[in-house]
Amino acid sequence: MRVGVLTGGGDCPGLNAVIRGIVRKGVQEYGYEFTGFRDGWRGPLENRAVRLDIPAVRGILPRGGTILGSSRTNPLKIENGIRRIKETLAKEEVGALIAIGGEDTLGVAARLSDEYGVPVVGVPKTIDNDLSATDYTFGFDTAVGIATEAIDRLHTTAESHMRVLVVEVMGRHAGWIALHSGLAGGANVILIPEQRFDIEQVCAWVTSRFRASYAPIVVVAEGAMPKDGQMVVKDESLDSFGHVRLSGVGEWLAKEIERRTGKEARTTVLGHVQRGGTPSAFDRWLATRFGLHAIDAVRDRDFGKMVALRGTDIVRVPIAEATARLKTVDPALYEEVGVFFG
């Protein structure tokens, strides 16, 4: 059998490890052949196919990004998108497709499988860790590591100048990166999209930190919002999945803190640094296991399923279940971390 593989949405450390796991086991154990589709759903839409064999995946385990390229193309928004995908799969004699992606890519995969009978297996990917049905997505651990290192470094410069340093991390609807890196990095304030924040309270925490003769670090997820304000967006235009481009809340916070407390405040926006470069050992481990289990699901013809981490086991769940709702930070967990604020 020939199996198609694509990576969609924002890139994420560990994508290449998944591809390698799929191809190595698929060729060695099951004698499959592989076609890689380039640039997410654009690949099967426009028949941008490349050969994937063992030499093609050699040496890619520690490489960031994706050798297949990625895009946020939504075939459901394109005229005859489904028909074109089906035609490509037939022409390339692809009997099964593995889609590696986040809520958007897997949302398409679920519909292709459940409504249009395309044999798809999903692999969950996102640095945001906001996919339901899996305890962790790969890429998250790497992003948290990068953000934590940045916070560690910002502590020493904040202390030297007795400034407030605001660190803006990714996280559109879920504050997992902010929460984990903020806790690991010893931040004094952590703001997440799930809980609207009170700017007065933020300033009170900042002031109390200065009173103790330390400089405060404020970690804010890009999707965090003030109680009586809106999400700060960089660009109002929507991508094909209906998302605006975020970023700016860090800058806004620094200005407000400076204005209200009289203390100098600066912002560092980590942006795509969090998504780039080599995956952590944990992400290589998780991504590789997802790849191995995804090709097993293909062998079992268990389509419409996504591989997921539950504890230390990899299980299969309906893709639709994983994309039905986002996994957000529980208020009780956020409250637990609140003991370190101020």
- Indicate whether 126 belongs to the interface with ligand F6P (CB under 6 A): yes
CB atoms within 10 A of CB 50: 15
Taking CA atoms, 256 is separated from 80, 193, 249, 319, in Å, by: 49, 18, 10, 42
Q: Is 50 annotated to bind ligand?
A: no
Contact of 191 with 224, CB cutoff 8 Å: yes
Residue carrying the six token digits 């490890």: 17
Q: Is 172 annotated to bind ligand?
A: yes
- Indicate whether 127 belongs to the interface with ligand F6P (CB under 6 A): yes
CB atoms within 10 A of CB 253: 27
Question: At closest approach, how far in Å is the CB of 82 from ligand F6P?
Answer: 24
Taking CA atoms, 88 is separated from 22, 226, 305, 310, in Å, by: 21, 47, 22, 34
Alpha-carbon distance of 168 to 49, in angstroms, equals: 37
Q: Is 186 annotated to bind ligand?
A: no
Region from 91-99, 114-122, 166-174, 326-334 binding ligand F6P, contact rule CB under 6 A: 166-174
Strand (E) or helix (H) holding 97: strand 96-101
The first and second tokens of residue 9, run together, are 């949405």
- Indicate whether 172 belongs to the interface with ligand F6P (CB under 6 A): yes
Per CB under 6 A, the list member of 18, 108, 151, 170 interacting with ligand F6P is 170
Site string for ligand F6P, 177-206 (x = CB under 6 A): ------------------------------
Q: Which residues contact 110 (CB under 8 A, 6 or more apart)?
A: 122, 304, 318, 319, 320, 323
Site string for ligand F6P, 98-117 (x = CB under 6 A): ----x---------------
Q: Is 199 annotated to bind ligand?
A: no
CB atoms within 10 A of CB 207: 17
Q: Is 72 annotated to bind ligand?
A: no
- Indicate whether 13 belongs to the interface with ligand F6P (CB under 6 A): no
Question: At closest approach, how far in Å is the CB of 218 from ligand F6P?
Answer: 18
Residue carrying the six token digits 């991504």: 287
**Nearest to ligand F6P of 106, 118 (CB atom):** 106
- Is residue 128 annotated as a catalytic residue, yes or no? yes
Q: How many residues bind ligand F6P (CB under 6 A)?
A: 12
Alpha-carbon distance of 321 to 315, in angstroms, equals: 13
- Indicate whether 250 belongs to the interface with ligand F6P (CB under 6 A): no
**From the annotation, which residues make up the binding site for diphosphate?**
10
User: Which residues are the active-site residues?
Assistant: 128
The contact set with ligand F6P (CB under 6 A) reads 10, 102, 126-128, 170-172, 222, 245-246, 275
